[in-house]
Amino acid sequence: MDPGGKVVVVTGGANGIGRALAHRFAAEDARVVIADLDGAGASAVAREIAAAPRGHALGVSCDVTVDAEVARLIGATEDAFGPVDLFCANAGVAVGQDPGTPDEVWDLAFGVNVRAHVLAARHLLPGWLERGAGYFLSTASAAGLLTQIGSAPYAVTKHAAVAFAEWLSVTYGDRGIRVSCLCPMGVNTSLLHHGQSTDGTDPGAAAAAAVVTQTGAVLEPEAVAEVVISALRDERFLILPHPEVLTFFQRKASDYDRWIAGMRRLRSRIIPS
Ligand SMILES: NC(=O)c1ccc[n+]([C@@H]2O[C@H](COP(=O)([O-])OP(=O)(O)OC[C@H]3O[C@@H](n4cnc5c(N)ncnc54)[C@H](O)[C@@H]3O)[C@@H](O)[C@H]2O)c1
């Protein structure tokens, strides 16, 4: 898929990877809707894009975990630019630690990292199937293929995001629906910085940040957006800005017990008991 001239929605577009994606799609002459809980931030990114020659963008305040707000987002996009060609389910939260994490925190992780993708697909699929075309980009994480040391809610919900993206592709691929799943390790955004600056108040996030910074390069969001553009052109399912994630994933599949033993050793280095 060539994003040129397409109508693109990016959730979580006020910051980090989403903001970089929005700018990168706009540079391809896409018309971009930036949706975020941070409505002022979404509008600011839209203004940055609209200020450029041939830039077309709209910022929308939206909680992607609420069905009616997702419906409103898609409606606002259609009113402004026409039907959605590419939906980037990118908003995400890295919260919680273990089974003792309060239910509302588990629910938040499921809501933003998984249910938001289901809600978007629910509203987009009827039109996409009628037109025989539509592209769903899921921002999951390397944690969705491997695990997230320090955060069970993140590991579990990112696995679920990968599973949902796979399922969409298997189920609708023959009817013109394309799906890609972005699975980075560390990216230089506020999500990672939060983990680096918790001062002991969020040990799960601190451990998660330590793992990603110690096991691979921390990429700039713009570099991730560049990899995404090229993967979308090839319509590749799995998008891995850190290529070593493929090796880790293959090792996991080929010898699960050995992989788990290695992850335990890594965990005990990061979180001494
Ligand atoms: N930064 C990393 O190291 C990293 C690694 C792998 C995957 N990811 C994933 O990348 C995606 C983007 O994260 P980021 O690193 O750019 O973080 P970020 O915190 O910079 O951006 C996340 C954005 O999502 C928005 N958001 C959160 N809850 C929302 C909701 N309910 N409705 C609408 N918007 C909401 C936030 O306001 C924020 O603007 C996430 O899904 C994250 O899990 C990040």
The per-residue pLDDT for range 160-218, each reduced to its tens digit, is 999 999 999 999 999 999 999 999 999 999 988 887 777 777 787 888 888 888 889 99
Q: Write the pLDDT tens digit of every residue in 89-105.
A: 999 999 999 999 999 99
Q: What residue owns the CA closest to ligand 1's atom 41?
A: 92
- Is the CB of residue 38 below 6 angstroms from any atom belonging to ligand 1? yes
When pLDDT is averaged across residues 241-245 and rounded to a whole number, the result is 97
For a mutational test of ligand 1's pocket, the pick from 36, 108, 151, i.e. the residue with the most ligand atoms closer than 8 A to its C-beta, is: 36
Kindly list the strands in the beta sheet with 31-36, ordered across the sheet, starting from the edge strand earlier in the chain.
Answer: 56-61, 31-36, 7-11, 86-89, 134-139, 177-182, 238-239
**Distance of alpha carbon 150 from alpha carbon 137, whole angstroms:** 26
Strand partners, 178: 135
* Ligand 1 centroid – CA 174 distance (Å): 30
The residue-averaged pLDDT of 152-156 equals 97
Determine the pLDDT at residue 197. Answer: 75
Helical (H) or strand (E) element with 56 = strand 56-61
Q: How much distance in Å is there from the Cα of 273 to the middle of ligand 1? A: 30
What pLDDT score was predicted for residue 24?
A: 97
Contact 113, 92 (CB under 8 A): yes
Average pLDDT over residues 61-85: 98
First to last CA, the chain: 49
Confidence class for position 80, pLDDT limits 50, 70, 90 = very high
Using alpha carbons, select from 246, 258, 158 the residue that is nearest to residue 208.
158
Which of 2, 39, 40, 47 has the alpha carbon at shortest distance from 22? 47
Amino acid, res. 180: S
pTM of this prediction exceeds 0.95 = yes
**C-beta 60 within 6 A of ligand 1:** no
pLDDT at 208: 84
Q: What's residue 257's pLDDT?
A: 98
Residue 12: CB within 6 Å of ligand 1? yes
Q: Comparing C-alpha atoms, which of 198, 78, 223, 212 is closest to residue 142? A: 212
- What is each CA distance from 181 to 58, 62, 241, in whole angstroms? 24, 22, 11
Ligand 1 within 6 A of 215 CB?
A: no
Ligand 1 site, residue 91, Cβ cutoff 6 A = yes
Whether 185 and 242 have beta carbons less than 8 Å apart is answered as yes
Q: Is 135 among the residues known to form the active site? A: no
Residue 73 token pair: 């987002």
| Ligand 1: centre distance to CA 254 (Å) | 31
Q: What is the pLDDT of residues 134-149, one digit of tens each?
A: 999 999 999 999 999 9
- pLDDT classification of 273: cutoffs 50, 70, 90: low
